[in-house]
Structure 1
């Protein structure tokens, strides 16, 4: 009897040890932005009552959420909630540039996308710094990168039922992104009165 049970226990133990589950963190990670608001806003446009002063630049190049499927799904929800679709459509571009392709005007790295959201851009992108909490900005950054296939397939969210015409984020092939040659940005002055 024990000779038959022993191989089953060995197989069960090997299967359990080979199973790798995603570690989900439901707490906000340590801030990934510098403590001081030392970066200038690149756009006078802001989504609500204009906030004075600069914004916090990212502390490093990486995103704290790129390997967390829950956070990327939250980023997808926030992308819709903050109405990013009004300019970028569902990633295909409209008034704002497309987010699904290989052409990235200001760069496709997490810190560069964070800067675009927080500081804004002079050609129309509003400055959301101080209007969106930092952890939510990083979740949106992770979702935006998933749109062009920059995240692992098991982390990228699947297509929402309301967007049945687009290919799901976790089914897209990885785009080789490249930044356009742009002249250096000039910070804008404060709000115009």
Structure 2
């Protein structure tokens, strides 16, 4: 579920269907915690996210085990993980990028653009004399 674009797009639909945005907004938080702050109380691993969705958490996160299928829970967990992911993924997420603080996972930065050492050569320029 975490490495398949189809399941992530289904997770995005589940996020909307079950009103996750009411508490978590577009990932920036609100009533519920933010996914973008880099700190997850129960961890950013898929198993932890699934457990949070399935079983709920104290102080406001309801359990969804009786409202979602286990497949929907895993799809949603995969999508939620992309919202807060800080490392590039190999599959394209289906999240909306216009409100995100970082580029989408499948758009990891090109190393040549960030190499500032003396040997760095821009592809359009050629070596300096």
TM-score, normalising length from structure 2?
0.72
Shift of 1:150: 5.5
Shift of 1:71: 0.5
Unaligned runs of 5+ in 2: 109-129
Q: 1:103 to 1:149 in 2, by over 3 A?
A: same
Does structure 2 conserve the Cα–Cα contact (< 8 Å) formed by 1:117 and 1:129?
yes
| Corresponding residue of 2:21 | 85
Unaligned runs of 5+ in 1: 1-64, 174-193
SS in 2 for 1:170: coil
Instruction: Tell me how far apart the structure 1 counterparts of residues 72 and 64 of structure 2 sit (CA, whole Å).
Output: 11
Is the aligned partner of 1:98 residue 2:68?
Answer: no
Does structure 2 conserve the Cα–Cα contact (< 8 Å) formed by 1:66 and 1:151?
no
Does structure 2 conserve the Cα–Cα contact (< 8 Å) formed by 1:158 and 1:170?
no
Shift of 1:148: 1.7
Instruction: Tell me how far apart the structure 2 counterparts of residues 113 and 144 of structure 1 sit (CA, whole Å).
Output: 8
Is the aligned partner of 1:165 residue 2:99?
Answer: yes
Instruction: Tell me how far apart the structure 2 counterparts of residues 151 and 142 of structure 1 sit (CA, whole Å).
Output: 14
SS in 1 for 2:15: helix
TM-score, normalising length from structure 1?
0.50
| Corresponding residue of 1:121 | 57
Instruction: Tell me how far apart the structure 2 counterparts of residues 117 and 172 of structure 1 sit (CA, whole Å).
Output: 28
Is the aligned partner of 1:67 residue 2:40?
Answer: no
Shift of 1:158: 4.3
